Structure 1
Amino acid sequence: DFAILSDGTHYENPKFFRSLEDKLAKAQRVLSRRMKGSSRWNKQRVKVARIHEYMENARKDYLDKISTEIIKNHDV
């Protein structure tokens, strides 16, 4: 469980992070095999950075949606 409120409402952990972590691990393995400073290394570094950015945005979006739902449905 990601969060449980005092009224018993459950919020599950998002499952899509597991697939993103697998994708990130594969991209980082490819990056580690590239010669540092080469153009292919640079392209792969950008791919890894984009995956990190996507994961960060997905986490923030999930937290924002949960917090908005809690605020709208409960008196704070």
Structure 2
Amino acid sequence: MSRASRAFLAISAVGTISTVAAVHLSQAWDRQRLHEGTLRDLERLERKENDRRQGEGGHSSFWPEEAERRPADCVPR
């Protein structure tokens, strides 16, 4: 094997390994950010439920003034 071909092989290997490592790290960071978003959503829903139970945070239904007169088939689940 000539010196040039060895250098090319080494540079190709380093480039390939670098690319694979970068993609792996990027996926790990994306997965972590997605998980943090899920935790934030759960916390937000918990705060919203607590506000609803305590009567804080505005109206607790889709029909603020008409909550008592909602049709039975339109009750949120």
Q: Please give the TM-score of this superposition, normalised by the length of structure 1.
A: 0.49
Higher strand share: 1
Higher helix share: 2
Structure index of larger Rg: 2
Q: Which has the higher contact order (CA 8 A, sep 6+)?
A: 1
